[in-house]
Amino acid sequence: WIMLLKTDMPDPNADYTEAASGTWALDTTTYATTLTVTNQTVADSLPETLTVTCDASAYPDLKYSADVTYVSYGIEFKFAFTDNEPVEETHYTVSFDFGNGQIVQVLTSTFEAADGTKKEYVPAVSAPATNNSNAPYVRGKRFAGWDTSKNPVLEDGVSTTKFLLDVNSNSYFDVGAIEKDVMEVTDDMTVYARWVEPQWVETEEDLRNMKNDLSGWYILKNDIALTEEWMPVGTYYASYEYLSASWWKYAFSGALDGNGYSIKGLHITTFEPYGDTVHPTEGSGNGTTALFGSICDAEISDLVIESPVIDIDYSNEHHGYAAVVAGFAQQSPKIVNVHVVDAKIDIETTDVDYIAISAFIGGHWGGEVTHCIATGTINVVAAYTETYDVGSTNLYVGGIAGEGYGWIDDTVSDMDISLTIQDARAAAEDPTAGITNNAYMGSIGASTTYTENVSASGALKLDFSAVSNTPVSAYLGGIGGIQRYGYLDYSETDTQISVKSNQKEGNTLYVGSLLGGYDAITSIINLQGFNDLKARQCTDRGVSYTLNTAEQTVDFIGYAPKTAEEMMVATIVAQAMGIDLTPYMDADGNYTIYGTDRCERVIG
């Protein structure tokens, strides 16, 4: 059969036709690096000889088009096309038994990879939904996951025969997803729904025993007074986010119903509750602490946590997630009608590259916080004694969320929050190396994504006056330090913001009464009248901002990117507020508002 190859080499106007293969010597210095043959793409440096196989009989009339780049010249390369026998698929049936008389069957297909070294799985297998109103249920019980055994045995609070779902959802699984996050299907099999009954929590011991079943259903029967330091329930085994580790299997995925009662005496003094203990397959769980070290699809509701104390002095090169409710949250957890009252959080870190600290969730990677209240104080001191060759530090300190990508609705934060940077990470040798030291602070979240109907007050205080060796980049906002994606609706703040700066060249400081800044991908900020004039309002009720004791004018948004496309949001904000945009209009009637334009306090 015939292959048609159109290429930039060596003659960009020539068509090369070969019966089976072709060999060309590169005679120019640069080519672009993309090769597409059938559905195979090579996007890196090409080897001297590249062999591509395909099933010629399946594509009798197929013509191949390739655009190739190579970053050197004088090297020969060759395309060789050979027949490849079709691989027979193997089909397995997975039966989901709900335990209530209902069984749902799904089909998965597998085949051996061409090189014989691994399995590929096609397609993803859809498990029955268990998280919507139409899902099957067993009266008086809560769904706690799928299991390959009817009578599972729990170890470290987790079933030893748990049927793992894809890391991104609890309603389906993908048998070809990230290693260790799913189970391989190699035969026809049945998996069973695990249902748990509610357990009454009457004593401190009962509360601590939540660790024995991380998918359990717990209901407070009375107030609980803790008498000893708390050991977090649920563990986070990754260093950042959740990638390449099955940490979420060891997160708390059950339900805690406070039933209107309170937990008193919560006291935490370490980021290293596990000491030198290392999980046989997952590593150390240190670096994350709260009532729940990590939560995943959990439900925490109708609870009061009175006068919690977190007092930590921590030295580590990696991360620290600290909060009262949950250190880290992923997938779709729900925290509803929880009050954190008179929290006292004091944390000092040395050479910790990443921290995310708040009264509710440290790392808020998913789920929602709604109808909640936080009051109290957060004081963080970060010091750096070691240098970097290259890298960054990221400090997130907020009232409800540290670094947040979830939903925060109908929630109030009245926190006095301070962050002191005693010195910043500096370059080891080259002072111009790519070292960045970032600080984010917000009364609701140090970073926020979906925020609606929130009210923020209290104080934000940032002090980096003692930093002498490297620049600092800081974002402070009365609601969010920095907005990423999402939206901000119907919210208000009267946070008092103050900054002590070393006033050195190279620092960047962005302060906004609503947001310190927002990312380029971003957000639509809904202010007065936007969205069909529905009076969606975000207001500051008199936010003040002082820099080194001098009163400053504060804009709604401290910083925004400076391209016309990225500034669409600023235009929407200004129009919604009834601001005259004539000075920003071009001949075609288009508006462009840059971050350097004041535009009557919309953008700093």
Q: What's the token pair of residue 233?
A: 């329930």
* Percent of the chain at pLDDT exceeding 90: 33
CB 398 within 8 A of CB 445: yes
* pTM of the predicted model over 0.85: no
pLDDT of residue 67: 36
* Placement of tokens 């402070």 in the chain: 476
Please report the pLDDT score of residue 491 as a whole number: 84
Q: Please report, for the chain, the start and end positions of each structural domain, with discontinuous segments joined by +.
A: 3-82, 90-196, 384-584
Residue 22 has pLDDT above 70, yes or no: no
Q: What is the mean pLDDT of the chain?
A: 71
Which residues have a Cβ under 8 Å from the Cβ of 309 and sit 6 or more positions away?
266, 267, 268, 343, 344, 345
pLDDT at 430 (0 to 100): 61
> pLDDT value at position 164?
66
**What does the alpha-carbon distance between residue 328 and residue 242 come to, in Å, rounded to a whole number?**
10
Residues 6+ apart with CB under 8 A from 9: 24, 26, 27, 28, 31, 68
- The pLDDT of residue 70 is above 90: no
Q: Which of 240-254, 430-444, 500-514, 590-604 has the highest mean pLDDT?
A: 500-514
pLDDT (mean) for 49-65: 40
- In 422-554, beta strands by DSSP E: 426-427, 435-442, 445-452, 455-463, 473-477, 480-489, 492-493, 496-500, 508-518, 524-525, 539-540, 544-547, 550-551
Element (H, E) at 418: strand 412-421
What pLDDT sits at residue 106? Answer: 66
- 273-324 pLDDT tens trace: 766 666 655 666 788 899 999 998 899 999 999 999 999 999 876 688 999 9
> What pLDDT sits at residue 81?
39
Lowest-confidence pick of 22-36, 143-157, 392-406: 22-36
- Return the higher-pLDDT residue of 418 and 584: 418
CA distance 370 to 412: 9
pLDDT digits (tens, 9 = 90+) for 220-274: 999 999 999 999 999 877 655 544 335 577 889 999 999 999 999 999 998 887 6
Which residues are CB-neighbours of 280 under 8 A, at least 6 positions away?
Answer: none
